[in-house]
Structure 1
Amino acid sequence: MTFSVVARDPTTGELGIAVSSCILAVGRAVPSARPGVGVVAVQARSRRGLGGRLLSGLAEGAAPADLVRRAAHAAEDADRQIAVLDASGRIAADTGQGSFPVSGHLVGDGWSVQGNMLASTEVLPAMAQALVAARGGLPDRLLAALTAGQDAGGDLRGRQSAALLVVSGDPATDEDDGVRMDLRVDDSGDPVAQLRMLRNLQRAYDERDYEMLALFAPEGARDLYAAAAASGRGDREAARTALEAMRTRPGWSAWLAAMAGDSRLSAVSRLLD
């Protein structure tokens, strides 16, 4: 019913998972991750609490292979499918004998792909090949694999939801929760494409790509990003026009005044002086 990819970035140490399925809100059910500990995929007919238990096992120092072996021998988990990746890159996966056909998993160096009730036997090899060939950061590589799986047929039943979760390879602290990306598409006719769009939007926020945000941010904030984009390219008149449009909305004029000292807006807000 689900196909997923888990992987570790050998350069940054980040750990992540991308998953898609023809169920509602797969991001609630399949992926689990803990910064500095590991990431787990729990799918097919796995018990809902298994992900947390596997992460706790990793935190206690157990090897992924040992955790997977224990789950494989548990009678109540005969229909489960799991993948376990720890912070050092050790990986193990297993597909229970009772899992839905077409089912299976492939394991490589610091990664695995797994799926059940797949449209064809080509889904998992396509995902593995795309993951290994992809360039860029871990989120982009995970999405490349997920996209390849969908293009090869994905879930036999169709499409509904997808999720992308990436965490730091270092433990969380009071200053940093370690979550690098947590995006979910709970109900969509093309969830993998929607997830890619959200990843691009997240990149725009992270990199302050105001030109893109002026087009794709929520409607109420687009004028603000349009002003920032225009100011960045030296078009003071366009920036002033966008800000004036914002000031006509109830409450926005006071908000702009309050944000005048913010380094992200000071250059823009001075256009209204």
Structure 2
Amino acid sequence: MTFSVVARDPATGELGIAVSSCVLAVGRAVPSARPGVGVVAVQARSRRGLGPSLLAGLAGGATPADLVRAAAHAAEDVDRQIAVLDTAGRVAADTGRGSFPVCGHLLGEQCSVQGNMLASPDVLPAMARALAAAGGALADRLLAALTAGQDAGGDVRGRQSAALLVVGPEPASDEDDGVRVNLRVDDSGDPVAQLRVLRRLQRAHDERDYETLAVFAPEGARDLYAALAASQRGDREAARAALAALRARPGWSAWLAAMAGDDRLAGVSRLLR
């Protein structure tokens, strides 16, 4: 009832999964990841606790092949579909005999695509090709694969939810939880497209692309990003107008005063001196 892709970026060591399905909130059920350990996809009619169990196995030193082999021989898991990827790039997958057709999985170099109840046998090959051809960050390559799967038919029942999860190669710490991307679309008529929008917004935040945020951020924050964008391009009048609009809103003057030491707003202040 789902199609997904797991992959490791050999350059950064990041691990990630992208998934879509015609069920509510697939991001709650299918993807599991632990920084410095691995990422798993648990779909079809799998037991809900299987994802954390597989991650615990990886953390304990088991290989993906070991874990998948054990699940494949468990009587209670005949209806499941799983993929397991570790920080070394080792990957294993299995499609239980009780999974809904059309179903299957394709293993690649440090990656796997899998799905069940698919609209077409073309879905998984299309995902694999797109992942191999895509460039950029791991999150964007995973989204390219998910988009290709949807374009090839995706879930035979239709569309409802999608999720994207990427973690780093090092274990979480107090300073860094290791989560690089964690985006979900729980209920949408076109969840993969909406997930791409969310990824674009996150990238804009990460890269301080204030021009994009001034257009696509929530309405209440657009004037703030307009001021920051004006500061980046040296447009004093536009920055002054955006700040005036902010100060006219209840509560924002106090917030601006409290944020006076923030390096982003300091650039606006310097421009207006």
TM-score by length of 1: 0.98
On the 8 A contact 2:231/2:271 being kept in 1, the answer is no
On the 8 A contact 1:117/1:156 being kept in 2, the answer is yes
The whole-number CA distance in structure 1 between the counterparts of 2:122 and 2:254 is 57
The whole-number CA distance in structure 1 between the counterparts of 2:109 and 2:272 is 56
- Structure 2 counterpart of 1:106: 106
- Structure 2 counterpart of 1:209: 209
On the 8 A contact 1:38/1:86 being kept in 2, the answer is yes
Between 262-271 and 238-247, the greater mean CA deviation after superposition: 262-271
54 and 82 in structure 1: CA distance in 2 versus 1, 3 angstrom threshold: same
- Structure 2 counterpart of 1:58: 58
**1:143-183 deviations in whole A, cap 9, x for unaligned?**
00000000000000000000000000111111111000000
What amino acid does structure 1 have at the position aligned with 2:266? S
- Structure 2 counterpart of 1:131: 131
Name structure 2 gaps, 5 residues minimum.
none
The whole-number CA distance in structure 1 between the counterparts of 2:207 and 2:271 is 23
Counting only pairs closer than 5 Å after superposition, residues 171-190 of structure 1 correspond to structure 2 as 171-190=171-190
What amino acid does structure 2 have at the position aligned with 1:53? S
What amino acid does structure 1 have at the position aligned with 2:222? R
**1:238-273 deviations in whole A, cap 9, x for unaligned?**
110010011111111111111112111012145666
Counting only pairs closer than 5 Å after superposition, residues 173-252 of structure 1 correspond to structure 2 as 173-252=173-252
On the 8 A contact 1:256/1:269 being kept in 2, the answer is no
SS at match of 1:265: helix
What amino acid does structure 1 have at the position aligned with 2:21? S
On the 8 A contact 2:236/2:272 being kept in 1, the answer is no
The whole-number CA distance in structure 2 between the counterparts of 1:231 and 1:7 is 39
The whole-number CA distance in structure 2 between the counterparts of 1:271 and 1:54 is 53
Name structure 1 gaps, 5 residues minimum.
none
- Structure 1 counterpart of 2:121: 121
Question: After TM superposition, what 4+ stretches of structure 1 lie above 2 angstroms from structure 2?
Answer: 269-273
The whole-number CA distance in structure 2 between the counterparts of 1:244 and 1:21 is 45
The whole-number CA distance in structure 1 between the counterparts of 2:4 and 2:263 is 41
**1:78-123 deviations in whole A, cap 9, x for unaligned?**
0000000011000000000010000000001100000000000000
- Structure 2 counterpart of 1:8: 8
On the 8 A contact 1:21/1:160 being kept in 2, the answer is yes
SS at match of 2:264: coil
The whole-number CA distance in structure 1 between the counterparts of 2:150 and 2:15 is 22
On the 8 A contact 1:243/1:272 being kept in 2, the answer is no
- Structure 2 counterpart of 1:86: 86
On the 8 A contact 1:260/1:270 being kept in 2, the answer is no
Q: What do you get for the CA RMSD once the two structures are aligned?
A: 0.9
The whole-number CA distance in structure 1 between the counterparts of 2:76 and 2:261 is 59
The whole-number CA distance in structure 2 between the counterparts of 1:26 and 1:5 is 13
The whole-number CA distance in structure 2 between the counterparts of 1:208 and 1:80 is 42
SS at match of 2:257: helix
The whole-number CA distance in structure 1 between the counterparts of 2:139 and 2:28 is 18
- Structure 2 counterpart of 1:48: 48
On the 8 A contact 2:234/2:271 being kept in 1, the answer is no
The whole-number CA distance in structure 2 between the counterparts of 1:187 and 1:105 is 26
Residues 1:140 and 2:140 aligned together: yes
